[in-house]
Structure 1
Amino acid sequence: ATTVHFTAGTTTLVVTDPIPLALTTSDSAEVMASPYRNLTASISNKYAVMGMPTLAATSGQYLWIQTWGPVWIAPQAAVGSGGNNLLCIFRHDGSIDELDSSDANNSKGQIAGFVMAHASGGGGTQGAAFIWLMIAP
């Protein structure tokens, strides 16, 4: 591990891999906090979805989230209902919808993943369309 000390403050950064170049006092760096710190439920499309909770949690609790692989997420009716209709995006309320490039409300949404198998029943009825979640492998 490499430890970096700043003379103008009290910040110490510990990195797991060596820094591949020499740094001087005139160099600068940018860091960001973990995106998994302080996760909250959101009812807007302002924030990225970082994962699907594996259980219900209240404020102040730690929890595990799933970021990759098979999962069920509350779908809108069109998810998995038609041929070649596989790609899904997150909606503002945590559910998923089909990616529809002609729909201004979801054409640029965050990718949730893809439908693993089409919904059963046909005719647009929604079965259990399991999603292959694709947030972070």
Structure 2
Amino acid sequence: MNEVARLGHARIVLIEDDPESRASLQMLLEEEGAEVVAVSDAEDGAEAAITHLPDAVICDLDLPGMDGFYLIQRLRDHEIRGNLPPSVAIALTGHDGEEYRLRSIGEGFQHFMTKPAHPEELVSLIQDALNARAVV
């Protein structure tokens, strides 16, 4: 574990259908001090996000059944209806096309990252986004 856990006790919902990627990302985030709920599909991810009201959501876009766009639409709708502060949302995908980035931002994700996620970049992105959210 790092000398300083950079993610403090941030609550993060991680949605990734690949078991190995999910486990490695969960371990990385927990080593940085985050409390992580990790699930494998958009339906469970939406329920986890609505139940836990996380500080951040990291979501693969290509998921079985329903995609990450479905999840972010449900989460944003819940936040608006409940007058809740929006969670930081990061789209994580193997697609590097500009159309995926633009659609992700348009659908409600604030950040977009292509796979494989580089641990240092991901943790820094989450840390910076959470710090910016705390200032607002």
TM tier relative to shorter chain:
under 0.3
Tell me which protein shows more strand as a share of its residues: 1
Normalised to the residue count of structure 2, the TM-score between the two structures is 0.27
Compare the two structures and name the one with the higher helix fraction: 2
- Structure with max Cα Rg: 1
